[in-house]
Structure 1
């Protein structure tokens, strides 16, 4: 079943179509949630919350073809809310939140820092992903949303409840820090990494990071139970 058809049927109350939407998109939603939370359990909780919210408000989606980006935006908002509840997103400097200074190097979605071989090499990939995870929370979230999910600056500003200038500034600081850290990693380990390849290639989950199919099935059961409870209420 094509995704757009599944959206239309799910909007009419077809539960099998809703499950098809989940089946076709849940791994990408999980991958985004895992990168944003850096915790498999919280990522799966975010998956459940995302689909429960999305299916409860599916009638609000006017363009069925927009479902993939729409569901990712819900997931991003969910993860952002989780982090705020846990006391994250404390600004590391006044500069990061200002609108000045970003015009010199607004990040390009196609600009990266790694060679193709680094993407394929598991240990190298793990090291550089660690550098991404070590960024300040707001910068890390910007990098993941911008390079992995291809959110626009305006969309990220809505999620982070800040100005577009602040998002550009955070992306700029993050990219500069990543380049500095990669060069330090090269110097320390005697390896060559610094070249141009989309950083987004690093962010999708590899097979070893995805949970078992049973975990996704259990998450869907939790979503349907939540939908049933909401309907009964």
Structure 2
């Protein structure tokens, strides 16, 4: 699939990996639906690329909100060719606290609901829209989900986050097999440690430690490197049902 003149829904598109993805795709001639809860940042980005973008305030766990974002994009750009699902949250929570009390189940469930159920919600609605369009193109659509290296190398306190991202990885193959008949591909990217607003919120010592743990290049990943991988996946039609780590060879102990 060529990127130019195609339309993509980017969840979490107002900042971090999502923003970088929007900037990259628009730079390659695509249209982008910026779906995010952050209205100020989302509208600012959309105004920067007014002809090729539209902002939609969106909670990815809401069927109504995601469907409204899709419909707004189709109304402006005529069709939808895929989605890059970057929206998610990090839940830090141990199974037991220092006093031996059990974790808050609601907090655990929130991570699963947003990261896993939200991803599934977006995928199902985007796929339905692409199928409905009935184009003659062989490569009709692409859905790229975002997991994490935590799906494979979960750390203490990452129970909810690791489980939710493992679930995203688990969706990859069954969804790809199901959607193959429609010419829709499913791919998943598992990023390592990236220079995002979330990472910037960590203490400097923590960031330095994470950088040092990356074998090569010994630094945090840059969001535009994630975005470039998105572009390569979109344009390579033989990539399907694969999970790609982009992590500088880091393997968390």
Bigger share in helix: 1
Please confirm whether the aligned pair reaches a TM-score higher than 0.5, indicating the same fold. no
- Structure showing greater relative contact order (alpha-carbon pairs closer than 8 Å, 6 or more residues apart): 1
TM-score (norm 2): 0.24
TM-score (norm 1): 0.26
Bigger share in strand: 2
